[in-house]
Amino acid sequence: MGDEPRFAQENQERIHAVETSFGPLGKSLCKPGRVLIGEGLLRKQSRRGPRPRVFFLFNDMLVYGSIIWNGHWHKSQKIIPLEEIQLEDLEDGVKMKNQWLIRTPRKSFYVSAASQQEKRAWIEHIEDCQSRLLQSAGHRPRSLFAVTWIPDQSSAICMRCTEKFTVTQRRHHCRKCGFVVCGACSKKRAVIGHIHPTKQLRVCTMCFFSLARTEADSKDVTRLRGNSTENTGLDEDEVERSGEEEEAEDQMEDHDPSRWMDLQMDSWPPCVYFNPKYTRAQI
């Protein structure tokens, strides 16, 4: 019992340190009953290939971000509630060893650890925290998850019309199927409810018409529009964001390459986990 007040103070200080590391643009992470379970470096598959990201596991959420300033400062903070996560263990890939899939309603992506042991530790701790969270009152698991995007380098041609990509013929991703497509094949927009309840997202022509055929049976999930912005119920800023700004957001993690650290997985300290008895803290 004597160790618990000391741990509570240490835990609060560590959470505050994580919160501060994301700077003024990061969201507040301090909350009564929240416990920092583990932290460490994982490689996350982005549209341009695997990139090092720092991950923090709490007893109610998973937080990750980009690494700057020798790993002491982070940006592009992402927060995922544990009830919105589904994990899938995977065999080693060509470019990513010790990998698994993290599915969420908004975005699904592959991550890999430095070793098989560390991979198992991450998966087991995430699943254990998620199980405890779902057993508490008012928490239910999600049933709809975003597809994983096919990486840019996986296709030199549009996966719908087979047009070759060039400097001017840019790659885009359909938010419904995850295919790499050209601009002409992804002019349509749709609201995909489990990704975002109101935002018009880029979809390929095939997915747009597939969604249109089932719209009558899923009006509460997906709303569609063509190229026109008239009568969409969105203000001008929202419509604008769904286009160029949406694409800019997709590529944000790969901007400013001179600031990314060339981190080696085997040089990063292993995950740090607290005493398991403290993971039972009430949320």
- For 3-143+258-280, CATH number out of 2.60.40.3880, 2.30.29.30, 3.20.20.70, 2.60.40.10 equals 2.30.29.30
Q: pLDDT tens, 105-134?
A: 888 999 999 999 999 999 999 999 999 998
CA angle, residues 107, 247, 189, in degrees to nearest 5: 80
Name the E strands within the chain: 36-46, 49-58, 61-68, 73-81, 86-89, 99-103, 109-112, 172-173, 180-181, 188-192, 201-203, 222-225
Q: According to CATH, where is 3.30.40.10 located in the chain?
A: 152-254
CA dist 107 and 64 (Å) reads 13
User: How many residues appear in the chain?
Assistant: 283
In DSSP notation, 127-138 reads HHHHHHHHHSTT
CA distance between the termini of the chain: 20
Per-residue pLDDT reduced to its tens digit, 33-67? 999 999 999 999 887 778 899 999 999 999 999 98
Beta strands in 138-186 (DSSP E): 172-173, 180-181
In the chain, ranges of CATH 2.30.29.30 domains: 3-143+258-280
Enter the pTM of the model: 0.71
pLDDT below 70 — which residues of the chain?
A: 1-2, 70-71, 137-139, 143, 214-283
Protein fold of 152-254:
Herpes Virus-1 (3.30.40)
CA-only gyration radius of the chain, Å: 20
Between CA 279 and CA 274 the distance in angstroms is 8
SS3 84: helix
3-state secondary structure of 162: coil
